[in-house]
Structure 1
Amino acid sequence: MNLERANVWLYRVQQRLAITRNEAAALVALAALLLAGMVVQRVRSRPQAAPGAERAATNHRFQQGAARLRAAQKKAEQRAPAQEAERETSSLTASSKAKLDLNAASESQLERLPGVGPVLAGRIAAYRRAHGPFAEADHLERVSGIGPKTMAQLAPLVSVSAPETEDAPKAEDAPKDAKAERAP
C-alpha cells in the first residue's frame, strides 16, 4: 500500500516538473540525502555535557557510598570489642569459673563452651541419653564432631562428677566407634 502511494507521488512530481522517471528518482534520492545531512548536522551541533561532568557526578555518588560504608565499618569496629568482652565473660574459662559438669549440664550450658554450637551440644546430650553419664571427660571424644583438637580445647573447662546408678548404662561401656552412630 505504501509503495503505491510512493509511486503515485513520484508520478505527480514527474508530471509537474516534466522530467523522466529516472530523473525523478534521482531528485528524490538527493532530497533524502539532503535531509539526512541536515539531521546529522543538527545532532552534532547540539551542545553536549562535558564528558567529565557525567563522570564527576558518578564519582561523587561513589564517594558518598564509600563514606557511608567507612562510617558503618567504624561503628562495627567500635562495637566489636564490647561484644568480644561480653562473649568472654559469658563463655566459660578455666581460670574464672568452675568446670562444667558434662553429666549435669544442659544443652544451653554446653553451647557456651568454645567450639560447641547448638548442633554439637545436641549430640553431646543425645550421646549422654543413649550411653549414660560420662565416666571420664576424655570420653567426650566419642561424640561425633569432637576430635582431638576440640577435646584439647574443652579438657580444662569440663569435668565429670556423677554418681553412677546401676540402671543407667555407663559411658565407658559404650562402643569405641560411637562416632559412627549419629545422634539426631
Structure 2
Amino acid sequence: MDAMKNGYKLIKNFLTKEERELLTHYTRLKHRTNFDSFDMAQSDQGDTMFYGDPVTDSLLITKKDLMERETGLKLLPTYTFWRMYSYGADLKKHTDRPSCEYSVTVKISSCGVKWPIFMAGAEMELEDGDAVIYKGCDLEHWREEFKGDWHSQVFIHYVNKNGPHREWFKDKRVMLGTLKQ
C-alpha cells in the first residue's frame, strides 16, 4: 500500500471548519448531559464515549470517498466511536480488532493542552480537525497520560471491500447509526 508506506498517514484539515465547529459543540453538549456512557478504565473521572453515534456514523459515510482516495482502496464503512477524554486519561499500546482494518483518529478539538498520539513509535501532534489514517489491526498505537481538562476525538473505521475482513461491513450491525447487535 504505497499511500501509507509506514502504515499510517497524517491528513491535515480532515474536518472542515464547519464540521469541526459542529462536532465540537455536539460532543461537548453530549459530554455535559451524559449520565450513563462512561469508560472508567482509561480515566479516574470516566470519559464520555459513544459507539455508532448517528452524527459520527454520518461522518463515516461522508468521509468514505476521501478515505478511498487516501488509501487507494475500495472501502466498506464499519463503525465510529467518539470519546471525550478528561484529565488522567491514557490510551494503552494496542492494535485494533478486524473491523478497524483502516482507521482514522480525528482530533475534533480540545482545551488546548497538547496530547500526541504515537504510531509505531512515531509521535504526532494533531491540530483541531487533523487526522491520522492508519492500519488499525497491524499498527501499535497509544497515548501517554492526558494532563488537560478535555479532548474530543472521533475514531472512524473501514475495511477493504476486497480484503479478509469485509464481513465486518457495518460492524455486523443491521444499519449504521445503531448499537451493535
Superposition TM-score, scaled by structure 2 size: 0.19
Structure showing the higher helix proportion among its residues: 1
Higher strand share: 2
Q: Which has the larger radius of gyration?
A: 1
